[in-house]
Amino acid sequence: MPTEISKIRAFEYLTFKLVEWFDESVTFSKENDISTLKALKLLFFVSSVNTVRDSQNTLLDTPFDKFVAMPYGHVESEIYDAIKSGQITNIEIDKSKTIINDSEAILELADDMKKRIDVAVQDLKKVNYSIINFTSFELVELSHQWFSWKKNYQKALENNVFMYQILANEIKSEDKFYHI
């Protein structure tokens, strides 16, 4: 089943904002290292920042509402599937970097969704500005500190499966880690 276009466009916009953040964070010209893995990890951290048990209308509620525990941490499964199946069209994302192909199309996202993503990105910058420069595997290690991953990945292992669903309320209510 194809992932909703609106979710894909929201991910493309978020990734566009991550590339901007990366570019503003480096003091010399350097190609971004926002790989597929790094983008998926940062998607989780942006979605979870400043959420609490009773938070509503968060990015964890919509559009990024399908997080699962996988070996490398929290993964939005529909975005992961969309990347793997080539449904992401306005950016190129691979094992080492992200290239923005069509910023005009990316910026056509609905204003209310852009605002929600912008606020979450700004909130994560305030919590840990340098997280954008963490390596993919530093981000994996950081996500492994979260109870929601530990609990649900253990369930996956117990059931001999590769992933296990994580409920948004589990993420919202737990202690959050944004620093190594």
Residues 85-140: tens digit of each pLDDT: 999 999 999 999 999 999 999 999 999 999 999 999 999 999 999 999 999 999 99
Q: How far apart are CA 80 and CA 135, in angstroms?
A: 19
Reduced to 3 states, what is the DSSP secondary structure of residue 26?
A: coil
Reduced to 3 states, what is the DSSP secondary structure of residue 75?
A: strand
Enclosing H/E stretch for 98 = strand 98-100
> pTM of the full predicted structure?
0.96
Mean pLDDT of 50-68: 96
Strand partners, 61: none
Quick one: tokens of 100?
A: 């923005």
Predicted pLDDT of residue 13: 98
Q: How far apart are CA 54 and CA 128, in angstroms?
A: 23
**96 contact partners, CB below 8 Å, separation of at least 6:** 33, 35
Percent of the chain residues past pLDDT 70, beyond the cut:
99
Name the pLDDT band for 59 (thresholds 50, 70, 90): very high
Q: How far apart are CA 163 and CA 156, in angstroms?
A: 5
Cβ–Cβ under 8 Å, residues 165 and 44: no
